[in-house]
Amino acid sequence: MPENTAVASACAVPEGGLLSRREHPEADHPYRSPFQRDRGRIIHSRAFRRLAGKTQVFTHRGSDHFRSRLTHTMEVAQIARTIARTLGLNEDLTEALALVHDIGHPPFGHAGERALDAALRQYGLYFDHNLHALRIVEFFESRYLGFRGLNLTLGAREGIVKHSRDYTADEHPELIQYFLDQRPPLEAQLIDLADEIAYLTADLDDGVEAEILGVEQIRAGVSLFERFFAPMAAEHPGAAEKLLFQESVKLMLNALADDLIAETGRRIQEQGIGSLDDVQRAAERLAGFSPEMERLRREAKNFLYRNLYLCEDLKYGHEHAAEVIADLFRVWMADPGLLPPAYTSQVAAEGAPRVIADYIAGMTDHFILEAHRNLRKTAFTGTE
């Protein structure tokens, strides 16, 4: 059991406070809290279902066991929920934020995000998946008679904006309602760290499944993994390497989560943080790893960049993703009338580059490849 259990309970986002308000007021539900309802709305959204068709790191070709954005999201949610419960935070809000944290991601993983950003920069704009997630929950989801979007609580929307970085009011005057001069609640601060814990461990697993990473290579390059693997291998001579590997990844995940809970609790106690207001007014974010775990986290992340995310095996996929997105962007910029009518009608208000990016960002991998094939058949006919 980590130290500092429930140490943050006085700082938890309360049910019924300012952060549980909605832009369009709604009657209270008889037995579901505002943040439970946010979680339900996110899970029932179309954008959430599309996460099943979006790449995390690997496409599904080659194995049915690679994480998709949806299964990654579920892993983040369960890690974040455990941490929130142990610290005494608002578990429902934490879970809602974890479930929505990747909803703004375009197809093709980070390669897709880079390509979409590059396409927008030609027009003086840029792509930010947090801001796109906000557009999804505030505008693109359309399922209620009384309003556009999901009408999530202020706490959920603030968490979407601020879970992974701070925005300034000078840069983003449109975000002024999200208390940009304050730190986000601990529930939101946890999300980015739970995300790191989830993908650092899952990507080792998927990297081995894809036969791009080897267990010996991970032992040599990731100290936190080797810390668990070496004694276990000594204790269980003859055990299948695959099982030793899985056990070590699991212990690595637990060690990261334990450290995050203990260090965050330590900072809360040391700085005398006793309320949500204290969290919001603290000079720095309070959720974090200890210096030693932070070093080990960076080492694991650098290892994954060097050996997996930027490796030759994935290069073709990344280049293809960039090409598909650039092609579609070019064709639709030349003739925005080729977009579906719901998007064409937004061009006058938002400008073609933003509308095209919105359309592409919502696509699954399968859908964008189909769109690309169709465009090649029509728009490119006669030019090849």
Helix or strand holding residue 219 (H, E) = helix 215-221
Nearer to Mg ion, 102 or 206 (CB): 102
Nearer to Mg ion, 148 or 298 (CB): 298
Is residue 203 close enough to count as binding Mg ion by CB under 5 A? no
Per-residue HEC secondary structure of 39-59 comes to HHHHHCCHHHHHHHHCECCCC
Q: How far is the CB of 187 from Mg ion (least distance, A)?
A: 16
**Measured between alpha carbons, how far is residue 107 from residues 96, 162, 325, 360 in Å?**
22, 22, 9, 8
Which span (102-110, 208-216, 238-246, 370-378) binds Mg ion, by CB under 5 A? 102-110
User: Who contacts 127 (Cβ-Cβ below 8 Å, separation ≥6)?
Assistant: 106, 113, 116, 117, 120, 357, 361
Sign of CA dihedral 32, 33, 36, 38: positive
Give the number of other Cβ atoms within 10 Å of residue 270's Cβ. 9
What's the rounded Cα separation, in Å, for the pair 36 and 31?
Answer: 10
Out of 102, 113, 141, 158, which residue is the one contacting Mg ion (CB under 5 A)?
102
Q: How far is the CB of 79 from Mg ion (least distance, A)?
A: 11
Nearer to Mg ion, 190 or 371 (CB): 190
Is residue 196 close enough to count as binding Mg ion by CB under 5 A? no
Nearer to Mg ion, 11 or 197 (CB): 197
Nearer to Mg ion, 158 or 195 (CB): 195
The closest of 339, 333, 327, 322 to 384, measured between CA atoms, is 327
Is residue 192 close enough to count as binding Mg ion by CB under 5 A? no
* Cβ proximity of 116 and 360 under 8 Å: yes
Q: How far is the CB of 102 from Mg ion (least distance, A)?
A: 4
Q: How far is the CB of 73 from Mg ion (least distance, A)?
A: 7
DSSP 8-state class, residue 11: G
Out of 195, 205, 263, 358, which residue is the one contacting Mg ion (CB under 5 A)?
195
Is residue 113 close enough to count as binding Mg ion by CB under 5 A? no
Q: How far is the CB of 157 from Mg ion (least distance, A)?
A: 18
Q: How far is the CB of 371 from Mg ion (least distance, A)?
A: 25
Nearer to Mg ion, 92 or 195 (CB): 195
Give the number of other Cβ atoms within 10 Å of residue 26's Cβ. 13
Q: How far is the CB of 196 from Mg ion (least distance, A)?
A: 9
Is residue 91 close enough to count as binding Mg ion by CB under 5 A? no
Which residues in this chain contact Mg ion in the complex, by CB under 5 A? Answer: 102, 195
